């Protein structure tokens, strides 16, 4: 409760400002230069965080070809978990801390051995030290047929040389990679196994899918049913 102070003639006087709120402060607006500096700090921090996430955790990749049909379609955009197999130097791709190893069936993004500045995406078929052979489209590992539910074949009148391959033994620290679209995939059958040092990460989810053909009506180009689909 606020009491009015009386003078000697009993006339009340108004309370002083300090008596009402002795801690009242007046905020001084930031100058234009100070505001620009604050926004610059926020933008710089956001860029640094984005680069760290892209370098060590998650990176987006675009699917430009049909070598992984039907798992990936041309125009899919995929998030890749770069932490799947370890923490790498973002400039040299050299492993710093190994977390795990690719397993048969993993869909992996890696640097193309013949052109390391190009990224490829394929499925792991053969592990280090294993014997891999393909006979009439059936994949054999260590002379035993393996389940291959993701393999996709386009029937043609001409024989496909890729349907018979090997045998070969996968080198140590390397992996035999094949595209799911077996008749139209440039993979380990053509250029050999992929060294672990070239691995970028394991494909995780499709975050965007867009039909690239210009003839398709604009509103029908988004493959909405593929958005968020987990890569199997």
The reply to whether 46 belongs to the active site is no
Q: What whole-number distance in Å separates Cα of residue 215 and Cα of residue 74?
A: 15
Type and span of the H or E element at 207 = strand 199-209
Q: What whole-number distance in Å separates Cα of residue 44 and Cα of residue 51?
A: 11
Q: Of 82, 84, 111, 122, which one is the catalytic site residue?
A: 122
Strand partners, 115: 112
Q: Of 67, 84, 174, 193, which one is the catalytic site residue?
A: 67
Q: What whole-number distance in Å separates Cα of residue 2 and Cα of residue 20?
A: 8
Going from the C-alpha of 229 to that of each of 14, 77, 207, 208, 219, the distances in angstroms are 71, 11, 7, 9, 20
The reply to whether 193 belongs to the active site is no
Q: What whole-number distance in Å separates Cα of residue 55 and Cα of residue 174?
A: 23
Catalytic positions are: 67, 122
């Amino acid at each position: 409760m606020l009491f009015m102070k009386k003078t000697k003639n009993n006339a009340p006087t108004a309370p002083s400002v300090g008596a009402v709120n002795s801690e009242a402060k007046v905020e001084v607006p930031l100058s234009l230069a100070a505001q620009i500096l604050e926004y610059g700090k926020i933008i710089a921090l956001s860029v640094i965080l984005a680069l760290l996430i892209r370098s060590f955790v998650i990176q987006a990749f675009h699917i430009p070809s049909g070598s992984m049909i039907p798992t990936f379609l041309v125009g899919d955009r995929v998030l890749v978990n770069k932490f799947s197999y370890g923490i790498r130097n973002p400039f040299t791709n050299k492993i710093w801390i190994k977390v795990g190893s690719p397993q048969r069936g993993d869909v992996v993004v890696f640097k193309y051995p013949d052109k390391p500045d190009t990224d490829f995406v394929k499925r792991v078929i053969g592990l280090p030290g294993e014997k891999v052979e393909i006979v009439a489209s059936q994949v054999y590992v260590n002379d035993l047929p393996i389940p291959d539910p993701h393999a996709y074949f386009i029937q043609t009148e001409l024989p496909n040389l890729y349907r018979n391959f090997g045998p070969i033994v996968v080198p140590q620290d390397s992996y035999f990679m094949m595209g799911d679209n077996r008749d139209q995939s440039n993979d380990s059958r053509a250029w050999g196994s992929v060294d672990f040092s070239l691995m970028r990460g394991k494909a995780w989810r499709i975050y965007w899918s867009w039909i690239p053909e210009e003839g398709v009506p604009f509103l029908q180009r988004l493959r909405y049913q593929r958005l968020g689909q987990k890569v199997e």
